[in-house]
Amino acid sequence: MKTTIVEVKNYVGQEVTIGAWLANKRSSGKIAFLQLRDGSGFIQGVVVKNEVPEEVFQLAKSLTQESSLYVTGIVREDERSPFGYELSVTKLELIHEAHDYPITPKEHGTEFLMDHRHLWLRSKRQHANMKIRNEIIRATYEFFNKEGFIKIDPPILTGSAPEGTTELFHTKYFDEDAYLSQSGQLYMEAAAMAFGKVFSFGPTFRAEKSKTRRHLIEFWMIEPEMAFYEFEDNLKVQEDYVSYVVQSVLKNCSLELKILNRDTTKLEKVQAPFPRITYDDAIKFLHEQGFDDIKWGDDFGSPHETAIANSFDKPVFITHYPKAIKPFYMQPDPTRDDVVLCADLIAPEGYGEIIGGSERIHDYDLLKQELERHQLSLETYSWYLDLRKYGSVPHSGFGLGLERTVAWIAGCEHVRETIPFPRLLNRLYP
């Protein structure tokens, strides 16, 4: 029976064959332990000299790291294995012999591993990170479909910029200028006016000269947008969504979280509702904590976000930021004009901002005035203004950065390990 490692649990006591790679090996005169992986999981194959033909044992002993092979064996339950099963090998068939695999079981530097990202992905740790990433994506689709949202795909090549013009990737679109999307939001607003509740999931690009553990040049964002949703309704969707994702990972990725040594007690607490703090109170709090490097009107840096997050055991919303440090489209607070109806969601344990969102301006004149104030071309944004001309309604939305969310949930130090092929400042290879 040809099967995969994740499915061997269905064949206890039976003989199966799996296609696999040799991740690692230990052997003595009488026995060889093969650490096998096939993409679906990891399993140990045990080859006992007295129980197999001599050539099978000799092949087992000579196998090199990352050689590919077909392994036949009897499935045994094994409590010592984190996976729960092992294979008593009866037959081995070499497919391709690998030589001098560069990533050996010893420690390697990060730059070396990043240069070999195409191979590094095969490691147990990276496998766990990608499985968690996949589960977050799966749970995202499940959550929004369950809540009646429609998935809408905004364009990647765009003629306008939602998040300010300094971080755009410029390209030519035949004779016109074009930019790689830095957010699908403006298109999602159009979609919300057509379909009510929508979400997108796609790549976004920021030519940010930031070299931090939270910044990627190319990252993936989930952007829901809802017609008739005001500021409070928006926060409710966010806390329900993030709780759903975290609880799904806890339920479906327990093995991966164990491989990563993630402290899951902290994740278990992530259940809606989430605490909130206004920007004003956050500034006061930071001053009380001795941060005199920040004043009202400044944006938070990561030490500030971490200090605020550390006083809560769930993600925390920071709300009502000064208008001057936020994009042009945010709805002003009706009770004071210097702050906007927005919120950033800050992950616990120092993982920083994972969501940015707001209620959007729905008044035509006010939006036009803000576009002009930001010196944005009314011609480029005329389609966006149109949305306020024909049946304009209050609406809100947000963007969740997938990689920062993976980093937080997986307990991963740096976003470079949360995406298969990270695009970083000065890294476009492999």
* Residue 82, token pair as written in the block: 């984190």
- Total of residues contacting Mg ion (CB under 5 A): 1
Position 224 contacts Mg ion (CB under 5 A):
no
**Cβ neighbours of residue 53 closer than 8 Å, sequence gap 6 or more:** none
> Considering CB distances under 5 to 8 angstroms, the limit depending on partner class, which of Mg ion, ligand 4AD, none binds residue 41?
none
Site for ligand 4AD in 368-407 (CB under 6 A): 397-399, 401, 403-404
Phi, then psi, of 236 in degrees rounded to 5: -60, -45
DSSP letter for 164, please. -
- Minimum CB separation of residue 246 from ligand 4AD in Å reads 15
Nearer to ligand 4AD, 52 or 198 (CB): 198
Q: Quick one: which segment of 6-14, 242-250, 262-270, 349-357 binds Mg ion (CB under 5 A)?
A: 349-357
**DSSP readout, 258-285?**
HHTT--HHHHHT--SSPPEEEHHHHHHH
Determine the Cα–Cα distance for residues 142 and 361; give it in Å rounded to an integer.
29
Q: CA 42, 43, 47, 53: dihedral to nearest 10 degrees?
A: -80
Nearer to ligand 4AD, 45 or 357 (CB): 357
User: 90-127 burial, b for 16+ CB within 10 Å, e for fewer?
Assistant: bebeeeeeeeebeeeeeeeeeeebbbbbeebebebebb
Given 69, 113, 168, 221, the residue binding ligand 4AD (CB under 6 A): 221
- Minimum CB separation of residue 265 from Mg ion in Å reads 29
Burial of 428 (0-12, 13-18, 19+ CB in 10 A): exposed
Given 224, 356, 357, 411, the residue binding Mg ion (CB under 5 A): 356
Separation in Å, CA 192 to CA 123, 269, 397: 41, 32, 10
Q: Quick one: which segment of 153-161, 281-289, 348-356, 367-375 binds Mg ion (CB under 5 A)?
A: 348-356
Q: Quick one: which segment of 74-82, 86-94, 153-161, 214-222 binds ligand 4AD (CB under 6 A)?
A: 214-222
- Total of residues contacting ligand 4AD (CB under 6 A): 23
* Residue 390, token pair as written in the block: 């024909």
Determine the Cα–Cα distance for residues 307 and 98; give it in Å rounded to an integer.
48
> Considering CB distances under 5 to 8 angstroms, the limit depending on partner class, which of ligand 4AD, Mg ion, none binds residue 189?
none
Q: Quick one: which segment of 13-21, 138-146, 216-224, 259-267 binds ligand 4AD (CB under 6 A)?
A: 216-224
Which single residue brings its beta carbon nearest to Mg ion? Answer: 356
Contact positions vs ligand 4AD (CB under 6 A)? 162-163, 183, 185, 206, 208, 215-216, 219, 221, 223, 353-357, 397-399, 401, 403-404, 415
Contact positions vs Mg ion (CB under 5 A)? 356
